C-alpha cells in the first residue's frame, strides 16, 4: 500500500517537471540603444551686456527735473541711435562712496573746514546696512585710512585724523581708489551707485599716473566724480579745470565754493542729486567685444533741459 502511494507521488513530480520545462521562457528586457556623442558638437553661445547709464536732468535754472520718461530723450552710442530697454527714476540705490581728501601743504589752512563738511555729508548720507564709504588721504601718495564701512563714527575719526603736509598726487589717488576699492568691489552686489568725492585744489605734482590714466580707471569702474575745489582765488585756476574735466567726463559735477563755510552747502547739493537721478540701460548695436571706448550722448527732446551723464564706457573684451 505504502509503495503504491510513493510511486504515485514520484509520478506526479515527474510530470510537473516535464510541464515546467516545456513552458516558454520570457525574453530578457531589451537593452536601450546608447546615444552616440557627435565627434564635433556645435555649441552656440550668446552674451548680451547691458550698458547702464545714470543721469541727472536740470532745467535752465539748474533745478532738478524729476518727471522725465524714456520717451523724453534719445541715446546715441558713437553717433548711432540706441533703443532704451530699461528706464526708471533712481532714488534708493545703494551707495559706495569714496572720500578723497587732499592733505598736501596747499590745503593746510582749509583742512579743518573740509573735515567738518565731509563728516556732516557722511552723517547725512550713509544708511546703515545699505550704504558704505571709505576714506583716502593723499599728499605724496594715497593712503587708505578707513576701509569700507557704514559706521559713520569710524569714518569721522579717520577723516579728522588726517594731517596736512607734502606734495600732491591727485591722479594716483583717483587711480588707486577706483582700481582697488571700487572696480573690484566683492560680489554678489545689487546695482550700485559708485561715487567719488574729491576735495582738492586740483594741482598734481607727484603722481606716476596721468590725468587720462585716472579718468580711464574711473570710467572702467563706473564711478561718478564730484569734485570740490579748495582754491580761493576767485578765478578759475588750472587745478579747477582739471577737477571740472574729471567730473564732467564721468557724469558728475564740480563745485567752486568761495568760502570754506560753503562746503556744507555743496555737499548737500550732492546728496540731493544722488537721490534724484534716472537710470537707463540699453543693448549696444555694436556687439563687438573689442575693449574699445564707446562714446555716449544722451539728448533731451526739450532743448531747454540739460543732462549730466557719463560720456562713454569701455566695451567688454574677448
Q: In order of start, what are the domains of the chain with their CATH numbers? A: 76-91+276-318 (no CATH), 95-275 (3.40.50.410)
Instruction: Identify the bridge partners of residue 133 per DSSP, sorted by sequence position.
Output: 97, 149
Q: In which residue are the cell numbers 524714456 written?
A: 70
User: Phi and psi at residue 289, in whole multiples of 5°?
Assistant: -100, 75
User: Helix, strand, or coil here: 270?
Assistant: helix
What pLDDT sits at residue 296?
98
What pLDDT sits at residue 3?
45
For the chain, which residues score pLDDT lower than 70?
1-48, 184-190, 234
What pLDDT sits at residue 48?
58
User: Helix, strand, or coil here: 209?
Assistant: coil
Instruction: List the grid coordinates of 290.
Output: 573689442
Report d(CA 80, CA 288) in Å as an integer.
15
Rounded to 5°, angle at Cα 222 from 303 and 313: 65
Model confidence, pTM: 0.82
What pLDDT sits at residue 189?
53
User: Helix, strand, or coil here: 144?
Assistant: strand
> Which among 213, 149, 228, 138 has a CA at the least distance from the CA of 181?
149
Amino acid at each position: 500500500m505504502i509503495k503504491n502511494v510513493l510511486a504515485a507521488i514520484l509520478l506526479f513530480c515527474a510530470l510537473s517537471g516535464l510541464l515546467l520545462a516545456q513552458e516558454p521562457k520570457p525574453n530578457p528586457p531589451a537593452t536601450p540603444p546608447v546615444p552616440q556623442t557627435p565627434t564635433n558638437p556645435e555649441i552656440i553661445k550668446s552674451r548680451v551686456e547691458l550698458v547702464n547709464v545714470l543721469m541727472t536732468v536740470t532745467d535752465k535754472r539748474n533745478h532738478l527735473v524729476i518727471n522725465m520718461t524714456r520717451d523724453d530723450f534719445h541715446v546715441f552710442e558713437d553717433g548711432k541711435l540706441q533703443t532704451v530697454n530699461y528706464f526708471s527714476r533712481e532714488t534708493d540705490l545703494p551707495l559706495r562712496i569714496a572720500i578723497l581728501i587732499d592733505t598736501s601743504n596747499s590745503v593746510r589752512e582749509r583742512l579743518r573746514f573740509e573735515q567738518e563738511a565731509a563728516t556732516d555729508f557722511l552723517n547725512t548720507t550713509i544708511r546703515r546696512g545699505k550704504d558704505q564709504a571709505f576714506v583716502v588721504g593723499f599728499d605724496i601718495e594715497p593712503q587708505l585710512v578707513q576701509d569700507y564701512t557704514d559706521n559713520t563714527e569710524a569714518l569721522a575719526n579717520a577723516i579728522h585724523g588726517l594731517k596736512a603736509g607734502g606734495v600732491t598726487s591727485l591722479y594716483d589717488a583717483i587711480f588707486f581708489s577706483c582700481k582697488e576699492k571700487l572696480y573690484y568691489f566683492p560680489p554678489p552686489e545689487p546695482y550700485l551707485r559708485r561715487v567719488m568725492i574729491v576735495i582738492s585744489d586740483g594741482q598734481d605734482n607727484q603722481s606716476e599716473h596721468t590725468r587720462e590714466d585716472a579718468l580711464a580707471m574711473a570710467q572702467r569702474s563706473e564711478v561718478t566724480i564730484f569734485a570740490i575745489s579748495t582754491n580761493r582765488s576767485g578765478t578759475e585756476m588750472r587745478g579747477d579745470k582739471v577737477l571740472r574735466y574729471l567730473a564732467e567726463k564721468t557724469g558728475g559735477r564740480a563745485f567752486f565754493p568761495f568760502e570754506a563755510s560753503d562746503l556744507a552747502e555743496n555737499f548737500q547739493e550732492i546728496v540731493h542729486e544722488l537721490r534724484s537721478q534716472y537710470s537707463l540701460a540699453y543693448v549696444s548695436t555694436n556687439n563687438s567685444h573689442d575693449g574699445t571706448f564707446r562714446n555716449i550722448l544722451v539728448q533731451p527732446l526739450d532743448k531747454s533741459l540739460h543732462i549730466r551723464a557719463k560720456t562713454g564706457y569701455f566695451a567688454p573684451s574677448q
